[in-house]
């Protein structure tokens, strides 16, 4: 027992140390975020001392950007977990690792949500009145009390799932299904519930006709499943880029390397070589004769002496390799030094990720002893991967080392695509109902879309949002968004469009005109804006730290095996 606890603390300690280690880019990024955080903290404390008078809010417009951001981020948190559905329900292997990034994003988003509601409170010192048991939580009457419960529950669920999976990976254990799969499914339902409950915060107010519409809940979900996966698409590309070039960290042995680089001699592969591979990699033994013959044409065998270099970091050839005999190490160059990231024996593969993804080599492979290596073209590797058992082995090894394929991004793209179509459709429904019936309740919508009685602060915003959403929708249905560059542009349009539509475009006009027909507009103050930036920076800081800890674990660079190394 004490041993288990000790192990866990060693794990936490090593993760914690990682958060403070990195190259200059990491320090710069974290430094900038910390500065913005502190500016936000400073602004918040000014508000804490002087009251909410330092914001742009008033008795007429009593909620502003804080609650708008809160609403948006609840959506992000809900949607991030939706990646769990293709991964676990449809068993899409390529999304498995992404699920952890999704859930970590959900955790960061919930932390930001909690921060946004806390800064919105007039008396944050009385937060304990909300705690069931010692406080007076008005459950189930108040929708806000539902939100308190579902948001905190969601936070716990995701922390449990990510924490458990990562710790298992760290220990090199297979996660016990009963200890996380039920929670994964609960989290899926819970994700829908957090956003529905947040929509009900508004929908339940009979006195605010702008919000008192049954379609708000579905709209919230549709917009969340647009903005959330869009954010994920951008985030995981950043992860992919950073992990592709970032140096190895703690856990890998530092060693001088690359003494005298020599190239191995190569020859055409024979059936005997394939036989040898079959004896080292039992899954290959089942490969049919025809396939073996067709492989021979695309295969070479390299006979390497110790110190021979098989592939170099930064190269863009597309061959993949299987070790037949001997031992090969993969090193990564960093500031003139090499770190060994992996050491491979017979039957193991290397170079397959850049081979399949067509990306530059992320390390240099050197024979440690006289070795025999089978080299395949990317096409031949794809052929091999058509054998189900072999596919599973190769893929599981790849996912240990974090493969984010473009196909996974395209799966996310189709989620964004469908959600955006539904989102625009639902918005159109709302607009029709408001304007066609032409009753007196249309005032808020008029104010939002056209301006009312000479007040039109939100008009440019909402039309920007509509333009962004429509452009994104068109791009998403066109094949052009299959290219990553256009997909990224589209994602940015989605995120900004939805943020405006759902944040400023939903929360603020609900208050204008006031229930007594008064037109009082709202503009966030500088102080309020600084607090918002501070919380966003805090969220990014959290997410960066989460990734900083989890990526090396997923890559196998931080594990129980290399403890104390």
Nearer to another protein, 40 or 351 (CB): 40
Residue with tokens 């003494």: 259
Length of the chain: 565
Nearer to another protein, 204 or 388 (CB): 204
CB of 244 to another protein, least distance (A): 20
Nearer to another protein, 200 or 322 (CB): 200
Nearer to another protein, 123 or 177 (CB): 123
Residue with tokens 């027992």: 1
Nearer to another protein, 67 or 473 (CB): 67
Tokens representing 23? 């190259």
3-state secondary structure of 372: strand
3-state secondary structure of 312: coil
CB of 116 to another protein, least distance (A): 12
CB of 294 to another protein, least distance (A): 47
In the chain, what is the straight-line distance between the N-terminal and C-terminal CA atoms, in Å? Answer: 24
Residue with tokens 């499914």: 185
Tell me how many degrees the CA angle 442-192-463 measures, rounded to the nearest 5.
35
CB of 54 to another protein, least distance (A): 8
CB of 128 to another protein, least distance (A): 9
Nearer to another protein, 57 or 328 (CB): 57
CB of 510 to another protein, least distance (A): 8
Task: Rounding to the nearest 10 degrees, give the CA dihedral for residues 147, 149, 151, 152.
Answer: 150
CB of 109 to another protein, least distance (A): 20
Task: Rounding to the nearest 10 degrees, give the CA dihedral for residues 499, 503, 504, 509.
Answer: 140
The residues, any chain, with a CB within 8 Å of residue 208's CB and separated by 6 or more, are 202, 510, 511, 515
CB of 351 to another protein, least distance (A): 27
Nearer to another protein, 129 or 305 (CB): 129
Contact predicate 474/434, CB 8 Å: no
Nearer to another protein, 118 or 471 (CB): 118
Q: What CA–CA distance (Å, rounded) separates 417 from 362?
A: 32
SS (H, E, C) 95-145: HHHHHHHHHHHHHHHHHHHHHHHHHHCCCHHHHHHHCCCCCCCCCCCCHHH
Nearer to another protein, 63 or 170 (CB): 63
CB of 555 to another protein, least distance (A): 23
Nearer to another protein, 252 or 481 (CB): 252
Nearer to another protein, 136 or 263 (CB): 136
Nearer to another protein, 218 or 510 (CB): 510
CB of 101 to another protein, least distance (A): 27
- Burial (0-12, 13-18, 19+ Cβ within 10 Å), 28: exposed
Q: What CA–CA distance (Å, rounded) separates 19 from 496?
A: 30
Tokens representing 354? 């850049």
3-state secondary structure of 500: helix
3-state secondary structure of 235: helix
**Residue 320 backbone dihedrals phi, psi, to 5 degrees:** -120, 155
CB of 335 to another protein, least distance (A): 5
Nearer to another protein, 97 or 120 (CB): 120
Which residues bind to another protein, rule: CB under 8 A? 23-24, 27-28, 31, 34-35, 38-39, 41-42, 45-46, 48-53, 57-60, 62-63, 117, 120-127, 129-130, 135-138, 141-145, 148, 201, 204-208, 335-337, 440, 443, 510-511, 513-518
CB of 18 to another protein, least distance (A): 16
Report long-range pairs for 438-445 (Cβ below 8 Å, ≥24 apart).
441/209, 441/210, 443/513, 444/209, 444/210, 444/509, 444/510, 444/512, 444/513, 445/210, 445/509
Tell me how many degrees the CA angle 197-202-207 measures, rounded to the nearest 5.
140
CB of 49 to another protein, least distance (A): 5
Q: Where are the alpha helices (DSSP H) in 338-483?
A: 352-357, 378-384, 388-400, 406-437, 443-449, 459-477
């Amino acid at each position: 027992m004490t041993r288990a606890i000790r192990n866990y603390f060693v794990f936490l300690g090593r993760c914690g140390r990682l958060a403070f280690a990195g190259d200059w880019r990491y320090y710069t990024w974290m430094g900038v975020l910390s500065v913005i955080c502190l500016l936000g903290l400073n602004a918040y404390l000014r508000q804490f001392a002087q009251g909410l008078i330092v914001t742009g809010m008033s008795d007429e417009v009593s909620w502003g950007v804080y609650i708008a951001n809160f609403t948006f981020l609840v959506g992000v948190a809900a949607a991030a977990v939706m990646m769990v559905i293709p991964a676990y329900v449809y068993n899409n292997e390529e999304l498995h690792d992404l699920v952890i990034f999704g859930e970590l994003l959900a955790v960061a988003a919930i932390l930001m949500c909690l921060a946004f509601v806390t800064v919105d409170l007039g008396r944050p010192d009385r937060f304990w009145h909300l705690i069931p048991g010692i406080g007076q939580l008005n459950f189930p009457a108040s929708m806000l009390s539902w939100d308190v419960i579902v948001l905190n529950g969601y936070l716990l669920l995701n922390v449990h799932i990510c924490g458990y999976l990562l710790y298992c990976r760290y220990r090199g254990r297979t996660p016990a299904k009963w200890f996380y799969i039920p929670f994964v499914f609960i989290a899926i339902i819970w994700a829908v519930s957090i956003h529905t409950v947040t929509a009900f915060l508004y929908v339940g107010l009979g006195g605010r006709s702008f919000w008192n519409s049954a379609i708000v809940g579905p709209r919230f979900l549709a917009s969340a499943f647009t903005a959330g996966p869009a954010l994920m698409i951008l985030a995981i590309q950043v992860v992919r880029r950073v992990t592709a070039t970032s140096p190895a960290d703690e856990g890998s042995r530092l060693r001088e390397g690359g003494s005298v680089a020599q190239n191995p001699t190569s020859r055409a592969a024979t059936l005997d070589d394939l036989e040898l591979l079959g004896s080292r990699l039992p899954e290959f033994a089942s490969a049919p004769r025809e396939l073996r013959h067709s492989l021979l044409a695309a295969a070479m065998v390299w006979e390497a002496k110790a110190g021979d270099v098989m592939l170099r970091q930064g190269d863009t050839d597309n061959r993949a390799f299987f070790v037949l005999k001997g031992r090969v190490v993969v090193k990564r160059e960093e500031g003139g030094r090499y770190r060994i990231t992996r050491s491979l024996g017979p039957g193991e593969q290397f170079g397959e990720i850049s081979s399949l993804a067509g990306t530059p080599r992320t390390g240099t492979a050197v024979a440690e002893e006289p070795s025999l290596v089978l080299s395949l073209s990317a096409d031949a590797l794809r052929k091999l991967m058509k054998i189900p058992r072999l596919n599973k082995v190769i893929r599981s090894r790849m996912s240990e080392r974090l493969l984010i394929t473009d196909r996974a991004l395209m799966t996310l793209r189709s989620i964004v695509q469908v959600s955006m179509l539904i989102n625009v459709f639902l918005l159109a429904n709302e607009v029709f109902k408001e304007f066609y019936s032409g009753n007196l309740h249309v005032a808020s919508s008029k104010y939002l879309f056209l301006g009312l009685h000479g007040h039109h602060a939100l008009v440019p915003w909402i039309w920007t949002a509509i333009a962004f959403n429509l452009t994104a929708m068109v791009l998403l249905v066109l094949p052009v968004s299959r290219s990553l560059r256009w997909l990224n542009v589209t994602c940015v349009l989605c995120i900004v469009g939805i943020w405006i539509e759902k944040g400023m475009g939903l929360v603020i006009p609900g208050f204008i005109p006031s229930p007594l027909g008064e037109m009082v507009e709202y503009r966030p103050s500088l102080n309020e804006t600084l607090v918002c930036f501070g919380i966003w920076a805090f969220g990014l800081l959290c997410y960066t730290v989460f990734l900083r800890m989890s990526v090396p674990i997923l890559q196998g660079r931080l594990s129980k095996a290399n403890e104390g190394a």
